[in-house]
A and B are shown apart, each in its own frame.
Chain A
């Protein structure tokens, strides 16, 4: 069964560093999303992406964040200068009708 994959599974970075989280959506899906879950809190929507552009973003998704679909298969989330409060589990999802989620990347900012 097709699935969404994410790499790495765990990333540790120092405050102020740039990180790129990678996702490979399901191949025939058209919509792509990033969500995050800070430990002990709800899963929160960050951004949705369709037809090679951002279709919606939350107030969390500020100028430090960017998304890209560089090669037609990968979907990346870049955090330009990480802060301690960016530590969370980041989930990628893709959909053609309902959303399928990847296993997540745990980002730890020290």
Chain B
């Protein structure tokens, strides 16, 4: 079985500050890892994914994530937060691109002016 744990249900950052969202995974096979973002009243939008190629993955809106097998982590970062980054962020794991996703509990990001 696969699972992810997101550390911190709520993160508050100042505009322009680093955003760091933590995700640790558990998988018995090489994982496919994803970060999704959900803005209010919208669906889940894919930010980026790791599929066993480069360990540093760049996504949309200036986000990136680094796969660290030794730490079973896939943390999401953005160097400089913008007000528009306020949303809920979900980490997810799967065994393939088209297979079911197992989601973490989500982290809500608020950005202070």
Asked if A76 is an interface residue, CB under 8 A from chain B, the answer is no
CB < 8 Å A-B pair total: 53
Bin the interface of chain A by size: 20 to 34
Nearest chain-B residue to A46 (Cβ)?
A: B100
Measured CA separation A89–B42 after assembly (Å): 11
- Provide the residues of chain B in CB contact with A6, threshold 8 Å: 43
With A42-B103, A42-B105, A98-B34 already in contact, the answer to whether A31 and B44 are too (CB < 8 A) is no
0/1 interface trace, chain A 40-68, chain B, CB 8 Å (1 if under): 01111100101000001010000000000
Q: Is the CB of A56 within 8 A of B104?
A: no
Q: Is the CB of A97 within 8 A of B46?
A: no
Q: Is the CB of A98 within 8 A of B102?
A: no
Nearest chain-A residue to B48 (Cβ)?
A: A98
Q: Is the CB of B44 within 8 A of A56?
A: no
With A43-B90, A91-B44 already in contact, the answer to whether A101 and B36 are too (CB < 8 A) is yes
0/1 interface trace, chain B 78-106, chain A, CB 8 Å (1 if under): 00000000000010100001111111111
Do most interface residues of chain A lie in helix, strand or loop, or is the interface mixed? strand
Bin the interface of chain B by size: 20 to 34
Nearest chain-B residue to A33 (Cβ)?
A: B100
Q: Is the CB of A104 within 8 A of B100?
A: no
Measured CA separation A101–B106 after assembly (Å): 16
0/1 interface trace, chain A 19-49, chain B, CB 8 Å (1 if under): 0000000000011010100000111110010
Q: Is the CB of A100 within 8 A of B46?
A: yes
Give the A-binding residues of B (Cβ under 8 A): 34, 36, 41-46, 49, 90, 92, 97-106
